[in-house]
Amino acid sequence: MADLVLQWDLELRLEKVRAVMEDSKFDALLVTSNANLFYLTGMVINGYVFITQENYFVFVRRPVGLKGDNIHYIRKPEDIPEILQSLGVPLPVQIALEEIDINAAEFERLSKGFEGAGVSGGSGILLRAREVKTPLEMEFLKRTGQRQAEVYKLVPSLYEKGMTDLEFSAAIEHGFRKRGHIGFLRVSGFRMECYMGQIFAGDNAAAPSPYDFALGGAGLHTAFPNGLAGIDITEGTTVMVDMTGNFEGYITDMTRTFRVGEISEIAYRAHNLSLEIQKKLSQNFGEGAVCGDMYNFAYEMVKEQGLEQYFMGGDQKAGFIGHGVGVQLNELPVIFPKNRERLKAGMVIALEPKFVIPHVGAVGTENTYVVTKDGLECITVLDEDIIELI
């Protein structure tokens, strides 16, 4: 099912999940969402992973042809307890299921399948385990950050005068895609939807959106109201490019800002403040830092410059300036004011202090960072100045 390095890394992930399970009230965890199956097995299957402190089994419906000691083919999830019993594995007293990652119908069905067992929510266990990355995950993320930066380097060359935001985005998406972006992006939460990333031209950056991203955007259609709006890119405005890197199932997040013609002094001031915030946070907040303190530190810098009204949106503002990334775009921890969680070495977070300047557009950058003992190490390294599109 996997090569040796991956196999060894999967063992580490399993250990992390088991360590979090130790502190919980349940004795088994049954996983069946694509994101968590990929985390635990290195691939997406239509099936289930069953974990206790002593046992680990993979139950597969599709695809055909997988082989391994702990792999069992099933027709339906109700087969699982039967197989466990035939293997002499005691049925769980209290089982955890992914309440955030699977739909209510599946949750109900699995609950009934383990008749007599108590049922708890298990999504939090996996979110916690996934916060700190394993060595192989770190390798994937660093490599993805590099590949993402290489495509970003080409972005100015993809622009042609007179392009709409849609045409420009299509060209950038094409640039990512033909270099191996897997396209599809996993986002946590049934309300979130995303297509490779977003670009914001001019005032569209201030358009409110139903989605919980850092910025909104009207979208091409009310069917998918976020990001680009199918509008002209006009003189004197910015184009913010917020595309994802995702070549091996691990996502890095990166934003750069471009301009057409001259933009106002205040736009430059806000942009430089975004860079300064990231620099200061990288230097002053590493392992052990409190997430909420990071937000508040950044917000103080914004207040000092009197730029609060432009910070993190227009009329509708995001309540966070950063978030974990990994197999999903929006992992833990989230960097918002009241979050008392502390950073751990090996977490990977994206920081995106952004500003929306009326009549100009969005400014600022976003980078993905690895949390270290001493601070934050950027893994999406590329010039951060506002580049003119010509």
Residues 127-186 that bind a copy of itself (CB under 8 A): 166-167, 169-171, 173-174, 177-178, 180, 182-184, 186
Residue found by looking up tokens 């060209």 in the block: 171
Minimum CB separation of residue 39 from a copy of itself in Å reads 10
- Residue 106 interacting with a copy of itself (CB under 8 A): yes
For 162: left if phi > 0, alpha if psi spans -120 to 50, otherwise beta; the answer is left
- Residue 196 interacting with a copy of itself (CB under 8 A): yes
Q: x/- string (CB under 8 A) for a copy of itself, residues 236-275?
A: -----------xxxx-------------------------
Minimum CB separation of residue 366 from a copy of itself in Å reads 20
- Residue 105 interacting with a copy of itself (CB under 8 A): yes
- Residue 377 interacting with a copy of itself (CB under 8 A): no
Minimum CB separation of residue 79 from a copy of itself in Å reads 17
Minimum CB separation of residue 143 from a copy of itself in Å reads 13
Minimum CB separation of residue 190 from a copy of itself in Å reads 5
- Residue 123 interacting with a copy of itself (CB under 8 A): yes
- Residue 33 interacting with a copy of itself (CB under 8 A): yes
- Residue 47 interacting with a copy of itself (CB under 8 A): yes
For residue 217, the tally of other CB atoms under 10 A from its CB is 26
- Residue 63: asked if its preceding bond is cis (omega within 30°), the reply is yes
- Residue 104's Cβ-count burial label (10 Å; 0-12, 13-18, 19+) is exposed
- State the number of CA atoms in the 13 A half-sphere of 251 facing the CB: 27
Binding residue for a copy of itself, selected from 48, 50, 211, 320, defined by CB under 8 A: 211
Q: What is the secondary structure of 5-73 as a DSSP string? A: HHHHHHHHHHHHHHHHHHTSS-SEEEE-SHHHHHHHHSS--EEEEEE-SS-EEEEEEESTT---TTEEE
- Residue 370's Cβ-count burial label (10 Å; 0-12, 13-18, 19+) is buried
Q: Which is nearer to a copy of itself, 175 or 324 (CB)?
A: 175
Residue type at position 152 = Y
- State the number of CA atoms in the 13 A half-sphere of 223 facing the CB: 3
Binding residue for a copy of itself, selected from 74, 139, 143, 195, defined by CB under 8 A: 195
Minimum CB separation of residue 7 from a copy of itself in Å reads 13
For 219: left if phi > 0, alpha if psi spans -120 to 50, otherwise beta; the answer is left
Binding residue for a copy of itself, selected from 161, 223, 265, 390, defined by CB under 8 A: 223
